[in-house]
């Protein structure tokens, strides 16, 4: 056997014999038969070019080369185990970096609590947060520059993406307290047929805008947009002025 055929198992076999100083106990520890174990140790000595063990009928002792190899083999096996453990943690998402994209309004949902829970569960993962409009978030996910995204009304059939519903949200209509619809406990979409709408721009959230338009069409009308806001915060300000 030459060094190209040396495997980690040869180091494990040697460490077991060197620590036990007994081939029988080492074989039991490794759960292999004793003759193959002795054979593999011989092959390892052939690769090293020096005896590693002094064998007598009564005991086994390490040579100077064997003592040196024991220290280095133990370090090597420990390092391999640590490397595999670290690699598994990366594979499980327990360490590393996670780039999270979100639309601004998602901050008004359970998203902050999800972030806090994730940080507690995976404290060694660096979270990188990126804010997008929906279209930009979907594009970033497809390009691979964002690992996971949280959006609203993106649809469940986005091409090239796996989507899951996190939580359902009802539609609500915000009207002045003195409005004729304010006293109703619930509304049908048709109740808003003659009402003016304050909506965000389709550029801000095309999917959400199209869904609302589709709901209105189901109610037999198209939404009459009185004012359009370029950003969701603008919606809040505009609604505030309308209700004042």
Q: What is the pLDDT of residue 140?
A: 93
Q: Nearest Cα to 55, choosing from 29, 77, 37, 73?
A: 37
Per residue in 161-171, pLDDT tens? 888 888 887 88
Task: Provide the pLDDT for residue 31.
Answer: 94
Predicted pLDDT at 73? 95
CATH of 96-150, one of 3.60.9.10, 3.10.20.600, 3.40.190.10, 3.40.50.150: 3.40.190.10
Q: How far is CA 129 from the centre of its chain?
A: 14
The answer to whether the CB of 47 falls within 8 A of the CB of 2 is yes
pLDDT for the residue 23: 93
The predicted pLDDT at position 238 comes to 46
**Comparing C-alpha atoms, which of 135, 140, 128 is closest to residue 153?**
135
Residue 14: predicted pLDDT: 96
Q: In sequence order, what are the residues at sequence separation of 6 or more whose Cβ sits closer than 8 angstroms to the Cβ of residue 7?
A: none
Strands (E), 77-214: 96-102, 125-131, 148-150, 196-200
Structure tokens at 149: 């995204």
Locate the DSSP E strands across the chain: 53-55, 60-62, 96-102, 125-131, 148-150, 196-200, 224-229
Q: Sketch the domain layout of the chain as residue ranges.
A: 3-91, 96-150, 189-243
- How far apart CA 238 and CA 227 sit, in angstroms, is 8
b (16+ CB within 10 A) / e for 175-205: beeeeeeeeeeeeebeebeeeeebbbbeebb
Give pLDDT < 50 ranges for the chain: 233, 236, 238-240, 242-244
CATH class for the domain made up of 3-91: mainly alpha
């Amino acid at each position: 056997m030459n060094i190209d055929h040396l495997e980690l198992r040869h180091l494990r076999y040697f460490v077991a014999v060197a620590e036990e100083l007994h081939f029988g106990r080492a074989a039991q520890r490794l759960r292999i038969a004793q003759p193959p174990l002795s054979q593999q140790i011989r092959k390892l000595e052939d690769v090293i070019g020096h005896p590693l063990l002094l064998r007598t009928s009564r005991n086994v002792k390490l040579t100077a080369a064997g003592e040196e190899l024991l220290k280095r083999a133990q370090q090597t096996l420990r390092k391999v185990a640590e490397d595999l453990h670290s690699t598994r943690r990366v594979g499980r998402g327990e360490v590393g970096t996670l780039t999270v994209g979100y639309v601004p309004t998602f901050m008004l949902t359970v998203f902050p609590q999800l972030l806090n829970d994730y940080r507690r569960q995976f404290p060694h993962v660096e979270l990188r947060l990126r804010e997008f409009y929906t279209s930009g978030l979907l594009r970033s996910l497809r390009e691979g520059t964002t690992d996971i995204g949280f959006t609203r009304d993106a649809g469940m059939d986005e091409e090239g993406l796996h989507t899951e519903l996190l939580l359902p949200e009802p539609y609500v209509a915000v009207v002045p307290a003195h409005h004729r619809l304010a006293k109703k406990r619930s509304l049908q979409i048709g109740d808003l047929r003659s009402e003016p709408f304050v909506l965000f721009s389709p550029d801000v959230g095309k999917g959400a805008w199209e869904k609302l338009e589709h709901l209105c069409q189901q109610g037999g009308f198209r939404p009459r947009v009185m004012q359009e806001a370029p950003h969701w915060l603008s919606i809040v300000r505009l609604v505030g002025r309308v209700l004042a």
